Amino acid sequence: MQGGAVLEIDLDKITFNSDQVVKRCQKKGIDVVGVTKGFTAIHQIVTAMVEGGIQELADARMENIVELRKRNFNQPITLLRIPRLSNVDYVVRYADTSINSEITVIKALADAASKIGKVHQVILMVDVGDLREGILQEHVLGTVEQIICLQGVKLVGLGTNMGCFGGVLPSVDNLGLLVELADTVERQLGYKMDIISGGGTSTLLLVENNIVPDGINQLRIGEGILLGTDTTNNRKIPGLHQDAFRLRAEVIEVKSKPSVPVGEIGRDAFGNIPQFEDAGIRKRAILALGKQDVYIEGIFPLDETLMILGASSDHTIVDITNANQDIKVGDEISFGLIYPGLLSASDSRYVKKLFKRRKQ
């Protein structure tokens, strides 16, 4: 095995999850935009999502979007991070749509698109409580009036973000407010919004419970498809695979040692003062895996008898005292991942990617 860790990726499970999410949303008249940023738009995974029925893609990094175009993904692609004013030429060239909250940037997008004979689509983000991107509700009408007068861009809808900064959960009330704002725009300005984008994976719970407000017709789904989980609502999504991704790392030392270091304790290599509980002598495995490879807090041992004690840049120390099997040097320990762990492992050049596919 070259490198210290392997990320196993079951493409069939990603295809299955994509299919299930698309079908559940279609029943409510909702289109699913497949978010590719959680795995740095690795093309094999994108293909698996498309095979599961994803017809539109979205990413927060222009580098990923450019790579998708080079890989001949011709699906409509949305830029999910507010465009940089310095980067509008690339945005209009490679992305069909972008989310926006700054009229200065939207005007620059309009100018850049006009210069190359294109019309760039814009979703105006509205802050309904999470306090990340978005204009305030009282500014929606005035902002819409400015956008619809511009050449080179087309306002296609309103959107909002939930759960990513403030942890605010989507609800009938806050998503209903987004629908009401779109209705107000149509009623007062005579301008019809084609898209009302009601957040991401956390909104799937409203879909499952059949209480998502009428009018919400787009969701941007990443975590739910990839991991079958909904972190904001702290749940596993019923009927989806939670094990499409697995991380394996090799054991490079096995020793029984005290559970509290001996000597005066200062700061570790990352500037933190570690805390230890005296549990006596414990059997420990050191893995060829560290913080430079993956976000350690984003992984967890599949064997629940194991416990991660900590990590440095190059090593992870795991308590194996109560392990279900005899762990030796050269063995591998497998981990599940939560979203931050997947994000870092996918982006790490030190983690080998191994794709599994049963269907031919």
> Would you name the residues annotated as active-site residues?
37
* Nearest partner of 73 among 59, 92, 88, 90, judged by Cα: 59
Instruction: Answer yes or no: are the C-beta atoms of 38 and 342 closer than 8 Å.
Output: yes
Residue 141: enclosing H or E segment and its boundaries? Answer: helix 140-147
List CB contacts of 4: < 8 A, sequence separation 6 or more: 249, 250, 287, 288, 289, 290, 293, 350, 351
Q: What's the chain's Rg over C-alpha atoms?
A: 23
Q: Are 310 and 356 in contact (CB under 8 A)?
A: no
CA atoms lying within 13 Å on the CB side of residue 202:
19
CB burial string 121-140: b at 16+ within 10 A, e below: bbbbbbbbbbebbbbebeeb
Strand partners, 197: 159, 218
Q: Which amino acid is at 176?
A: G
Retrieve residue 220's tokens: 């941007």
Closest CA to 77 of 93, 61, 65: 65
